[in-house]
């Protein structure tokens, strides 16, 4: 790199810009923004190690260069600039140690530090951070070596002792035992490497966070804040491709019968003793072609391990969903559905049984409740959408009354109402809070984020999404005992279909033994048996339980509305917010502004349970 090129890099940083440039010999300098650290790896021409290089590309500032390249002038120039900006600068060189042939191989880090003016406190914190990089739940062994030249064995130092003194930088080395490789063949264990890379990424950011606070004027609020903030073109390409495939079909519509009401009338006419035949929409996708497109998406181009994990999980979920469309009305459908949504766990079944056994949850007589027809309910829904449009003109959801669906649902951000649907007057606010205040709103908020996945839904988002929707019913004051009983009945029906119970026997248990009305029992059974066994309905109660546990631990409720997020990925969502990649929710439910909901919102932080909600509703 010439002096002029080095000067251009420094000028770019001074102007607040980012640097991402190729170096001669296949190297790369990437500094997303001025930061008081730089990760360095020197590539040997005859021994490429892409898995090792990938350990650095998780950081916001790194340098990869051929081993024969003289980097001293560039590193000194970077040090001078960053010292002026932050008061100190850390250069951390990483390299691989020898591959051990022990079984299992020792998992070790070897820290190399200069003997004079060694940053003792930083070295201790560095050891603590690296202890978190576990493999197979084993903590690594860590050693520290003090020597004048902090470089890989056999390589000249990045900066000589004299140049380090002249530049004033802190130089450390980190030798890594490549436990993610097969000792014999040298092949990379892909899954082990991903886990190691993810954990080392966090450890390095913790080290740089501590260095910043102990040695510089830079004060990041969290170690995640030192991560990359730029959404790269590779990320946008992958996200757009996944969203395009996800938008190409609607699993719920594909598995929802178009003759639900007629099927109920036929079932009742035959005294609830004859199997029903459900009819479905024609399938509009070619599963083979769609899967070919799905696996042509180059996820490996994403350098950020957090985003790579999120998108990989979504691709896996889309694969399973496409398979469900292909397997509709076959014995394979139930197995695929169980893979997507899981089986009913014993604790959830026990809770459902407790709710069903509680006399206070006896179902309200439907004939005594005034009902709104589909058109009248659609007018109420339109007024709700108008409220949100006033707050955000870009809010463009619409209401549709359609004869080809049963009940009410949200599809791709729009509110769909079945033409034969009827909604109890005392459940209107709850239904609007559930469908519009949760499903429609999180879809809209997801559109405002840099990833379309937060509009479409992260992998496994349904439990949290439905938990939020049921919670909205509680905040509206219309989560009655009958509604909780309905959710418990769905759990029971999912358990029965998973155990191999037939449609008629499941209906009889719900109707005769559990006391559900005939049509209510039919609708629960239909929802569970549609497509060949759709086990999603257990997520409503499961999601509510997990959400209440989450809120009782003091976590924020509003963050959960920034898109269709999954509870298992909330730590990654938090990381992306620290990195300023994700924005706060554009809109929050109307319920958050009402004084009458304040008491119920306060109770959420006190450890309220589903059975507590049942007591309130009784």
State pLDDT tens for residues 173-183: 999 999 899 88
Whole-number percent of the chain with pLDDT over 70: 97
* 495, part of any domain: yes
pLDDT at 197: 94
Q: Give dist(CA 463, CA 254) in Å, integer.
A: 20
* 592, part of any domain: yes
* 310, part of any domain: no
- Token digits of residue 235: 């990320």
Mean pLDDT over the full length of the chain: 92
411 closest CA partner among 256, 258, 540, 524: 256
Question: For position 43, which CATH number holds?
Answer: 3.40.630
pLDDT at 98: 65
* 534, part of any domain: yes
Is residue 18 located within the same domain as residue 154?
Answer: yes
* 144, part of any domain: yes
Burial of 599 (0-12, 13-18, 19+ CB in 10 A): exposed
What pTM did the predictor assign?
0.91
* 314, part of any domain: no
The alpha-helical segments, DSSP class H, found in 397-480 are: 428-434, 441-447, 453-456, 462-476
Structural domain including 35 reads 3-226
Give residue 99's pLDDT band: very low, low, confident or very high (50, 70, 90).
low
242 closest CA partner among 304, 326, 308: 308
Residue indicated by tokens 């014993």: 346
pLDDT at residue 172 above 90?
Answer: yes
Angle at 356 between CA 553 and CA 560, to 5 degrees: 30
* 28, part of any domain: yes
Is residue 404 located within the same domain as residue 468?
Answer: yes
Is residue 416 located within the same domain as residue 536?
Answer: yes
Is residue 189 located within the same domain as residue 260?
Answer: no
Cβ pair 426, 478 in contact under 8 A = yes
* 115, part of any domain: yes
Peptide bond into 427 cis (omega under 30): no
Sign of CA dihedral 147, 149, 151, 154: negative
Domain boundary among 159, 194, 226: 226
Is residue 256 located within the same domain as residue 112?
Answer: no
Helix (H) / strand (E) element for 378: namely helix 374-391
Cβ pair 100, 106 in contact under 8 A = yes
pLDDT at residue 605 above 70?
Answer: yes
Is residue 192 located within the same domain as residue 275?
Answer: no
Within 10 angstroms of residue 554's Cβ, the number of other Cβ atoms is 7
Within 10 angstroms of residue 503's Cβ, the number of other Cβ atoms is 19
Q: How many domains does the chain have?
A: 2
pLDDT at residue 367 above 50?
Answer: no
Helix (H) / strand (E) element for 260: namely helix 260-269
pLDDT at residue 363 above 60?
Answer: no
Give the single-character DSSP code of 225.
G
Give the single-character DSSP code of 259.
-
Domain boundary among 158, 191, 226: 226
Give residue 366's pLDDT band: very low, low, confident or very high (50, 70, 90).
very low
Is residue 215 located within the same domain as residue 255?
Answer: no
Q: Give dist(CA 207, CA 229) in Å, integer.
A: 19
Sign of CA dihedral 286, 289, 292, 297: negative
Is residue 158 located within the same domain as residue 202?
Answer: yes
Is residue 208 located within the same domain as residue 275?
Answer: no
pLDDT at residue 89 above 60?
Answer: yes
Give residue 235's pLDDT band: very low, low, confident or very high (50, 70, 90).
very high
pLDDT at 362: 65
pLDDT at residue 252 above 80?
Answer: yes
Is residue 133 located within the same domain as residue 277?
Answer: no
- Token digits of residue 50: 């892409």
Is residue 194 located within the same domain as residue 277?
Answer: no
589 closest CA partner among 483, 430, 449, 355: 430
pLDDT at 581: 97
Q: Give dist(CA 569, CA 306) in Å, integer.
A: 10
Q: What is the four-CA torsion angle of 571, 574, 579, 582, rounded to 10 degrees?
A: 120
CA 316 to chain CA centroid, nearest Å: 13
| 3-class DSSP assignment, residue 374 | helix
Is residue 265 located within the same domain as residue 355?
Answer: yes
State pLDDT tens for residues 210-228: 999 999 999 999 999 999 9
Kindly give the interhelix angle for 518-529 and 481-498, rounded to the nearest 10 degrees. Answer: 50
- How are strands ordered across the β-sheet holding 90-96? 19-23, 27-31, 61-66, 37-43, 90-96, 170-176, 108-113, 141-146
Angle at 331 between CA 327 and CA 333, to 5 degrees: 40
State pLDDT tens for residues 260-293: 889 999 999 999 999 999 999 999 899 999 999 9
């Amino acid at each position: 790199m010439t002096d002029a090129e080095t000067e251009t890099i420094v000028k770019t940083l001074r102007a607040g810009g980012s640097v991402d440039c190729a170096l001669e010999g296949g190297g790369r300098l990437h500094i997303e923004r001025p930061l008081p650290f730089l990760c360095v790896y020197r590539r040997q021409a005859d021994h490429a190690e892409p898995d090792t290089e990938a350990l650095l590309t998780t950081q916001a500032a790194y340098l990869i260069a051929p081993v024969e390249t003289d980097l001293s002038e560039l590193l000194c120039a970077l040090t001078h600039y960053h010292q002026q900006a932050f008061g100190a600068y850390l250069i951390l060189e990483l390299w691989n140690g020898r591959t051990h042939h022990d079984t299992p191989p020792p998992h070790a880090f070897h820290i190399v530090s200069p003997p004079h003016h060694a940053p003792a406190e930083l070295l201790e914190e560095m050891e603590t951070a690296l202890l978190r990089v576990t493999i197979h739940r084993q903590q690594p062994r860590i050693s520290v070596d003090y020597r004048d030249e902090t470089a890989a064995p056999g390589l000249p130092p990045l900066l000589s002792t004299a140049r380090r003194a002249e530049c004033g930088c802190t130089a450390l080395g980190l030798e890594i035992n490549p436990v993610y490789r097969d000792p014999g063949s040298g092949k990379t264990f892909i899954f082990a490497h991903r886990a190691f890379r993810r954990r080392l990424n966090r450890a390095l950011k913790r080290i740089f966070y501590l260095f910043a606070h102990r040695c510089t004027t830079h004060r990041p609020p969290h170690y995640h804040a030192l991560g990359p903030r730029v959404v790269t073109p590779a990320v946008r390409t992958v996200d757009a491709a996944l969203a395009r495939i996800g938008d190409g079909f609607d699993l719920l519509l594909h598995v929802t019968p178009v003759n639900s009401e007629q099927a109920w009338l036929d079932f009742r006419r035959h005294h609830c003793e004859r199997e029903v035949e459900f009819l479905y929409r024609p399938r509009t996708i070619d599963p083979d072609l769609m899967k070919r497109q799905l696996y042509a998406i180059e996820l490996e181009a994403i350098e950020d391990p957090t985003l790579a994990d999120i998108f990989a999980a979504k691709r896996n979920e889309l694969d399973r969903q496409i398979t469900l469309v292909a397997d509709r009305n076959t014995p394979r459908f139930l197995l695929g559905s169980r893979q997507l949504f899981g089986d009913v766990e014993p604790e959830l079944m026990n809770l459902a049984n407790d709710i069903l056994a509680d006399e206070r949850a006896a179902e309200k007589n439907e004939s005594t409740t005034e009902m709104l027809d589909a058109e009248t309910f659609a007018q109420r829904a339109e007024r709700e959408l108008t409220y949100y449009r006033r707050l955000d003109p870009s809010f463009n959801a619409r209401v549709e009354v359609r004869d080809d669906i049963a009940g009410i649902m949200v599809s791709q951000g729009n509110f769909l109402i079945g033409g034969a649907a009827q909604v109890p007057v005392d459940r209107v606010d709850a239904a609007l809070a559930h469908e519009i205040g949760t499903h429609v709103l999180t879809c809209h908020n997801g559109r405002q984020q840099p990833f379309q996945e937060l509009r479409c839904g992260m992998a496994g988002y349904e439990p949290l999404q439905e938990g939020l929707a049921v919670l909205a019913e509680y905040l509206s004051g219309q989560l009655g005992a009958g509604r909780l009983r309905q959710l418990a009945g769905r759990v029971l029906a999912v358990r029965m279909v998973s155990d191999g119970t037939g449609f008629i026997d499941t209906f009889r248990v719900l109707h005769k033994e559990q006391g559900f009305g005939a049509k209510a029992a039919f609708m629960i059974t239909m929802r569970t048996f549609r497509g060949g066994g759709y086990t999603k309905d257990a997520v409503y109660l499961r999601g509510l339980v997990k959400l209440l546990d989450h809120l009782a631990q003091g976590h924020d409720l509003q963050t959960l509305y920034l898109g269709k997020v999954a509870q298992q990925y909330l730590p990654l969502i938090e990381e992306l917010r620290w990195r300023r990649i994700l924005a706060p929710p554009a809109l929050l439910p109307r319920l958050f502004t009402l004084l009458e909901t304040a008491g119920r919102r306060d109770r959420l932080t006190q450890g309220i349970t589903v059975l507590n909600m049942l007591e309130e509703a009784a």
